[in-house]
Amino acid sequence: MKIRDIIAPIEEFAPLSLQESYDNSGLVVGRLDDELQGGVLLAVDVTEEVIAEAIEKGCGLIITHHPIIFHPLKRLNSASVVERCVEMAIRNNIALYACHTNLDSAPNGMSWRVGEMLGLQSMEVLQPTTESAGFGVVGTLAQPISETEFLKQVQKTFSVKALRHSALLGREVRRVAICTGAGASLMAEARKAECDIYLTADLKYNDFYTPDSHFVVVDMGHFESEFCAIAILFDILSKIFINFALHKSAQSKNPVHYFV
């Protein structure tokens, strides 16, 4: 089976045409017409540990959410983690494929999955880019809950050690907006959607002032918000390749550590 055969259903679900102009989704290392050697490993990021896991499990393809090469490489001399990962993959005949902002904006993509995990209903795209695609979602909870109850639910569901948030408003939470990854740019859309809470990641200091008592903004962490990429990719591939060696990485770990 060729690598192009494996990634075809992924690109049907999240076409590369949906990726942002700055992105580098697609086959980053390898050739589409190469025969796949071994199985497939799914992870959030390409790291040396993930590649070592692929070697151990006999995987010839690693599919991640984040592309290992995001900025042009001027040399390959093992001076950086990115260079070492690319070299390691090439030397071990492992192809690297990324499904990044196209998976973010695809219908039923990243934010949709987080919304489903939190029990949101009647979800809609928060920032449409095409007729059916776009970034973020907004939906409603079946029953309103307190702000602290919602925060506890996020912590439990996504194994978040610490949540950063703007001032709690003492209101019930019914309408929730979500954008996985760095979502500060969608703050205005969250306000227009009249959400009670906007759940996202990678917020800066001044971003916590932006809600201006109209809603509560919550930073759940970049990795925590995007770990669901592994499950989405697994669901896409496992339904088609029933007898295929498909692995969820045990080495896909959060690079951010918390001292609490």
Q: Has residue 232 been placed in a domain?
A: yes
- CA dist 221 and 212 (Å) reads 22
Q: Has residue 260 been placed in a domain?
A: no
Cα Rg of the chain (Å, integer): 19
pLDDT 10s digits, 197-247: 999 999 999 999 999 999 999 999 999 999 999 999 999 999 999 878 999
Q: What is the pTM of this model?
A: 0.96
Residue 149, C-beta contacts closer than 8 angstroms, at least 6 positions apart: 173
The count of domains in the chain is 2
Domain at 18, CATH number: 3.40.1390.30
Percentage of the chain beyond pLDDT 70 is: 100
Lateral strand order in the sheet of 39-43? 26-29, 95-98, 59-64, 39-43, 246-248
Q: Which residue has the tokens 């070299």?
A: 87
Three-state SS letters, 115-141: HHHCCEEEEEEEEECCCCCEEEEEEEE
Predicted pLDDT at 150: 98
Regarding whether 186 and 202 lie in a shared domain, the answer is: yes
110-117 vs 228-238: helix axis angle to the nearest 10?
Answer: 100
Average pLDDT, the chain: 97
Q: Which residue has the tokens 């697609």?
A: 26
Predicted pLDDT at 244: 82
Regarding whether 96 and 148 lie in a shared domain, the answer is: no
Q: Which two tokens stand for residue 121?
A: 């209903």
pLDDT 10s digits, 82-116: 999 999 999 999 999 999 999 999 999 999 999 99
**Residues 132-154, mean pLDDT to the nearest whole number:** 97
Domain range for 27 is 3-103+227-248
Predicted pLDDT at 131: 80
